[in-house]
Amino acid sequence: MSTIASQLKPPIEAPRATHQISLNGIRHNYRTVERKAATQKCSVMAVVKADAYGHGAQETATFLMRECGCDSFCVATLDEAIHLREKLPYPVRILVLGAPVDLPADFDRYLHWQVEMMVSGPEVVEKLMEWCSDIKTRRENMVQNSAKEAMDKVAESNISKGVVKSSKTLGNVEGESLAREIREIMIHKKKEAQVQAFIDNASSGTGTPNGRASPAPATPSLDAHPATTTTQFQGIAHAASVSRLKSERAANGVSPSPPMGKEEKKIRWHGMVDTGMGRMGFKPEEDWSVEAIKNLHRLSLQGSPISFTGLCTHMAEASSSSTFTIEQFGRFKTLLNRIRESGLSVETVHTDNSSALLEESLKHFDTAVLKQNSVDSRGYVRCGGAIYGQRPQFTDLLPVSTLSASIRHVGKIKQGESVGYDRTWVAERDSVIATVAIGFADGVPRDLKGGSVEINGTVCSIVGNVCMDMLMVDVTHLQDECPVRVGDSCVLWGPVTDELGGIDEQIKLKDIAKSLKTTQSELTCGVDVKRVRRVYEK
């Protein structure tokens, strides 16, 4: 019986290729950056764009938040931010470094997901002002976004319980009932808001001229809805019970607890300043830049759901000896001071990146930069590469990424025989060739032919062209002392733990990047997460 059961149970397949991420390395590097940032009176904003440089954005950010106390992250796109927000609760900050693309629809998504936005120039300013003035459409979109998120959460919850089919189609009986109950709960919440508005008006003495309290509007301000409304939908049963409990408490005269996130939702936006990168941003020397920021701030004072949060720029070079870097920062301070002189406070400023902070220790965040009449600005350094150990100039950082693959075949060839496409490698002697289950479709550059890998603690050479799904390695010199066998591991880069528990790194990612005239981040971003199993090691 046990034999039959074991045959029916699907085996756990060994991965053909593995991308191992060292969480200890990430922790060490983050703390190194954090200590360095503290010397410049600033905090760290962890860059997790491009799936955390190929290391896994959700996993990396969650680890940094829980284990290191990081509360600010930035990504490149809104979709990346939403993917991250699904794991990181508000008020953990998530900033999109790139400009909004789908205008004005993106504004609704920024608002709903509580993601901070980059305002990069006149095209964004114009559309944002139009969006602020179109209150009716904005509120309709808020309802639609909340309903969509609620439906997705309910569908996901019930799919996991086997309540509805995995297609998430709501056209069947269960789905129709589900949709009706969601609608009833949302209508009930609107009525609760109306009753509360009526009570607030009555208690404050405001209302009609005859002293009677004005009835609540038929459609209450959706901007005032709690930020956590949709997060209550962990399942219809739970949501319904919460609503019933609130009704019972109200009927018995029990004051409800203040809901979480009672404050109004707003888009927190940062102004990008073009000080020399030539990509996008406000021009420091143009009066329009100050006026545009003031106009957007004025809209927030009039009730629009936007809030001026910060000013930032990006350095083209990371050298304290560069006159251009000095000029860039001077231009940034010029616009910063002009904004403050106009009467606005700047909550946060950020200008640096990993190289500027670690390699040269540019003193960007001194007292003069952060000082303002109200509460001083909070300085941030945006760090990505350093957290992943990808700044070779800074020796205190630890490598984080190890790419390895399984050897699937070991065979012999005779002198004069060739290996791989185009016969680019011909054996000069009788040789033993190991075929490794990883190729350029997995993220190994084709230009790596002739490069080095590590097998059984020994450096070996790649022979022939790198194929789509595999590559070949000459292991002739290993056959006498440490024969290579099918199932052995081939390390393409990164540290490995030896038999004594020590860390050995014979094939360094930085050396491969240098030989290929590229960057470490390009290599790790290129690892295909669908074909290469990603694992996290502490």
Binding residues for substrate: 279, 468
Residue 215 carries which DSSP code?
Answer: P
Q: How far apart are CA 465 and CA 454, in angstroms?
A: 18
Count CB-CB contacts under 10 A for residue 328. Answer: 23
The answer to whether 332 and 284 are in contact (CB under 8 A) is yes
Structure tokens at 467: 């194929």
Q: Do the beta carbons of residue 73 and residue 32 sit within 8 Å?
A: no
Question: In Å, how far from its chain's centre is CA 82?
Answer: 8
What distance in Å separates the CA atoms of residue 270 and residue 74, rounded to the nearest whole number? 12
Amino acid at 296: L
Distance, CA of 271 to CA of 347 (rounded, Å): 12
> Using N-to-C axis directions, what is the helix angle for 57-68 and 23-38, rounded to 10°?
60
On whether the CB atoms of residues 99 and 120 are closer than 8 A, the answer is yes
Please report, in range form, the residues annotated as the binding site: 279, 468
CA 271 to chain centre: 20
Nearest Cα to 94, choosing from 86, 85, 102? 85
SS3 call for 73: strand
**Which residue bears the tokens 């002002």?**
129
Could you tell me which of 90, 124, 89, 88 has the C-alpha nearest to residue 107? 124
Place of tokens 């019930």: 158
Q: How is residue 231 annotated by DSSP?
A: G
Q: How many CB atoms are closer than 10 A to CB 135?
A: 15
Residue found by looking up tokens 């439906």 in the block: 151
> What SS3 state is found at 452?
strand
Interatomic CA distance for residues 172 and 192, integer angstroms: 31
**β 425-426/418-419 pair status:** antiparallel
- Distance in angstroms (rounded) separating the CA atoms of residues 93 and 114: 9
- As a whole number of angstroms, the distance between CA 406 and CA 18 comes to 9
